[in-house]
Amino acid sequence: MALGTAAAFVVAAIQKKLSPLLICVLAVPILACIGGIVFVVIKETASGRDFYGVPAGPWITIKYGMVGVLDALLRTWWLFVLPIALLRNLHLVPRKTFGQWISVSREAVGAYCFLIAMYAAQCALYRSSFPHHSRYDFPAMLLVPLTCCILASEISRKARLNVSERTFQYAQLTVAGFLLFALITVHLGQAPALIVKVQTNIKVTNAFYNELQRLAQAASAAPIKPIILDAYGPYTYEPVYSLSSYLAALGVHNRVSVRFHPDETLQGTFYDSLQHQLSQLQDASTGAFDPLREALVNGSHGCLSVGIEGPPDSSCSGFRLQVGPL
């Protein structure tokens, strides 16, 4: 995104849309943000590994960036080559060299190169390929849809120069009708995948919040009972810390402690680090959590157990929260 902004500044300077002084002023906060990001990344990877314990370094990053360029080209080259080949075979466009095609479509080629760079940069910084089928796919997986938009805009712009305005508008209407028909028939009889995902997330969120409210009501009715967060595995790292904030926001003042149940099947630097930190919370005395041994001293008062990704303690009033992986 920063590269796109820089390109816009260059174009604005060449076309004299903005003064050099204003461009410099606007560039300062952008450069400050980029500098901050670079500083944090360098600091976090100074040990040779990233937050997840995966080896990190300039050569690994460059390697994945080069792979990202090749991957992006392989995903999109046919979107340009096939229409040009078809139009040339139909003698609808003149024969041109590769350099001439680039020259007459400079804006489209520039936008396409930006998309390639965006995809490659994300592959390099994530040190992986896409898709992951998660939120991390954005904006990398916009590569093909945006390339199609660029191509459609360029063809439309060129076609407008060779036909009458009325014919051009009829062509646009026809294309729009075909696209609408295709979208309807593809999803006919089934809900779009995005809507299904949204509905699933709504159900999970409502179930989570309803159980949280039930816990808050039980805690308010028995403020002397400690709340034990029975956390199963490293995926409960975020939920454990989040629950302490949620309970405080709902007006719960009970003591909160953590009882961690490690998952030995998950191994690696990242998971080991999370499990170690969760284990330490059992004996920690912080503003959010009390040591587990102190919470269990007065067992006669009972307790409220919250099973996170696992069952609650059967000797306590039980609540269960399913939150999924990080």
Please tell me the distance from the alpha carbon of residue 213 to that of residue 243, in angstroms, as a whole number: 11
254 SS3 class: coil
Please tell me the distance from the alpha carbon of residue 184 to that of residue 88, in angstroms, as a whole number: 32
Contacts of 13 (CB under 8 A, 6+ apart): 20, 23
Q: Which of 175-184, 202-211, 264-273 has the highest mean pLDDT?
A: 202-211
Sort 323 into a burial class: Cβ within 10 Å, 0-12 / 13-18 / 19+.
Answer: middle
Residues 282, 260: contact at Cβ < 8 Å?
yes
Average pLDDT over every residue of 257-279: 87
Average pLDDT over every residue of 262-272: 83
Average pLDDT over every residue of 187-199: 72
More confident residue, 231 or 1: 231
Q: What is the DSSP letter of 251?
A: T
Q: ∠232-134-265 over CA atoms, to 5°?
A: 30
Average pLDDT over every residue of 87-112: 76
Please tell me the distance from the alpha carbon of residue 17 to that of residue 269, in angstroms, as a whole number: 52
Q: Work out whether the CA dihedral 185, 189, 195, 196 comes out positive or negative.
A: negative
Half-sphere exposure of 326 (CA within 13 A, CB side): 12
pLDDT band of residue 324 (cuts 50, 70, 90) is low
Q: Which of 81-95, 108-122, 273-287 has the highest mean pLDDT?
A: 108-122
State the pLDDT at residue 69.
95
**φ, ψ at 161 (rounded to 5°):** -80, -15
pLDDT for residue 299 is more than 70: no
pLDDT for residue 119 is more than 90: yes
257 SS3 class: strand
138 SS3 class: coil
* 74-87 confidence digits (pLDDT tens): 999 888 778 777 77
Q: Which of 2-6, 173-177, 302-306 has the highest mean pLDDT?
A: 302-306
Please tell me the distance from the alpha carbon of residue 29 to that of residue 260, in angstroms, as a whole number: 44
pLDDT for residue 325 is more than 60: no
Structure tokens belonging to residue 57: 């370094």
State the pLDDT at residue 326.
42
Residues 121, 65: contact at Cβ < 8 Å?
yes
Q: Mean pLDDT, the chain, as a whole number?
A: 84
pLDDT for residue 298 is more than 80: no
State the pLDDT at residue 95.
74
State the pLDDT at residue 68.
94
Structure tokens belonging to residue 232: 């199963």
pLDDT for residue 67 is more than 60: yes
pLDDT for residue 93 is more than 70: no
pLDDT for residue 114 is more than 80: yes
Please tell me the distance from the alpha carbon of residue 76 to that of residue 230, in angstroms, as a whole number: 49
DSSP string, 76-116: HHHHHHHHHHHHHHTT-S----HHHHHHHTHHHHHHHHHHH
Q: Which of 158-162, 216-220, 273-277, 286-290 has the highest mean pLDDT?
A: 216-220
Strands 256-261 and 317-321: unpaired
Residues 96, 29: contact at Cβ < 8 Å?
no
Q: What is the DSSP letter of 300?
A: G
